[in-house]
C-alpha cells in the first residue's frame, strides 16, 4: 500500500516568506508526528497529533511554526516569516497510535535563502 | 537536555566482525527505546524496539536501566548493514520521541 507522502520534496524560499509543508499519512493512522532534521543531527520532535487535535506541540521552536490536521488525516506544517535557520529536512511520520511503529515519509527539504 | 546520546558519529567494521552501536539515555521514568535505521536513499524505518525483544536482521538490543543504555549489537556484520542508525526514546505516554544524533555504520568488504 501507499506509504506516507510529503509534498513538496524540495522547497526553496526567501527569508521572511511563508511556507506550507504537507503530509499525507497512511490511511487509518490516527497518530501523526512532525520532525525537523538539520544536517548532521537526528530528527527533532516538533508536534504530535492524535486524530485532529495536537496532543503535544511542545517541540515547536517558536510561534512562527504552526501545524494543523483538520480532518484527522492530512496535516500541514506552516512556517511564517521564515529564517535561514529554518533550513532543514522536515519529516512526517504516522502510526496506528502513539505506541506503535512510526512510518516515515521521504521528507521535505526546506532551504531559506 | 540531551536525552539520547550516541557517542560515535562514524563506525567502520569489517564484514563478519561483531558490531556494537552505543546508545545512552537520560530519563528516570519508564522509557521506551527504539533503534531506527536509514539505508542509502531510503526512508527512516524502525529496526527494533526494546519491548518486543526481537532480533531483526541479526541485530539485538538490551535495555540496561542500571547503565541507562540500549546498545545495538550484531555478532557478524554484513555489507548490507551499512546505514545510518538512530537510537530513539519515547516517554511512556508515547507523545514525544527523542532521537540521538545517529551513527553512520560502514561495513568494509
Residue spans of the domains in chain A: they are 5-107
User: Which residues of chain B make contact with A56, given a CB cutoff of 8 A?
Assistant: 95-96
pLDDT digits (tens, 9 = 90+) for A52-106: 887 888 899 999 999 999 998 999 999 999 999 999 999 999 998 777 789 999 9
Which chain A positions have a beta carbon within 8 Å of B96's beta carbon?
45, 48, 56, 58-59
pLDDT band, residue B93 (cuts 50/70/90): low
CATH number of the CATH domain containing B41: 2.60.40.10
Quote the Cα angle for B81-A33-B42, to 5°. Answer: 25
Domain that holds residue B96: 4-108
Judged by CB atoms closer than 8 Å, whether chains meet at B45 and A97 is answered as no
**Residue carrying the nine cell digits 535563502:** A113
Q: Distance between CA atoms of B47 and B99, rounded to whole angstroms?
A: 14
B8-20 residue pLDDT tens: 999 999 999 999 9
Task: Report the alpha-carbon distance of residue B52 to residue A68 in Å, rounded.
Answer: 32
Fold designation for A5-107: Immunoglobulin-like (2.60.40)
pLDDT of residue B94: 63
End-to-end CA, chain A: 37
Q: How many domains does chain B have?
A: 1
Contacts of B97 in chain A (CB under 8 A): 33, 35, 43, 45, 102
pLDDT of residue B97: 85
Amino acid at each position: 500500500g501507499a506509504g506516507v507522502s510529503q509534498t513538496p520534496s524540495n522547497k526553496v524560499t526567501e527569508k521572511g516568506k511563508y511556507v506550507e509543508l504537507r503530509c499525507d499519512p497512511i490511511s487509518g493512522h490516527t497518530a501523526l508526528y512532525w520532525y525537523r532534521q538539520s544536517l548532521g543531527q537526528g530528527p527533532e520532535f516538533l508536534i504530535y497529533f492524535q486524530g485532529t487535535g495536537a496532543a503535544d506541540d511542545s517541540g515547536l521552536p517558536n510561534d512562527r511554526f504552526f501545524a494543523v490536521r483538520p480532518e484527522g488525516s492530512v496535516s500541514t506544517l506552516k512556517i511564517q516569516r521564515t529564517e535561514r535557520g529554518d533550513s532543514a529536512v522536515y519529516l512526517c511520520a504516522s502510526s496506528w497510535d502513539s505506541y506503535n511503529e512510526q512510518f516515515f515519509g521521504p521528507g521535505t527539504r526546506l532551504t531559506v535563502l | 537536555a540531551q536525552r539520547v546520546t550516541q557517542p560515535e558519529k562514524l563506525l567502520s567494521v569489517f564484514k563478519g566482525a561483531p558490531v556494537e552501536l552505543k546508545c545512552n539515555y537520560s530519563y528516570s521514568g519508564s522509557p521506551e527505546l527504539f533503534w531506527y535505521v536509514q539505508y542509502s536513499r531510503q526512508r527512516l524505518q524502525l529496526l527494533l524496539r526494546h519491548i518486543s525483544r526481537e532480533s531483526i536482521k541479526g541485530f539485538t538490543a538490551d535495555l540496561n536501566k542500571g547503565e541507562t543504555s540500549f546498545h545495538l549489537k550484531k555478532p557478524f556484520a554484513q555489507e548490507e548493514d551499512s546505514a545510518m542508525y538512530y537510537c530513539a526514546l519515547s516517554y511512556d505516554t508515547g507523545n514525544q520521541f527523542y532521537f540521538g544524533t545517529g551513527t553512520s555504520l560502514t561495513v568494509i568488504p
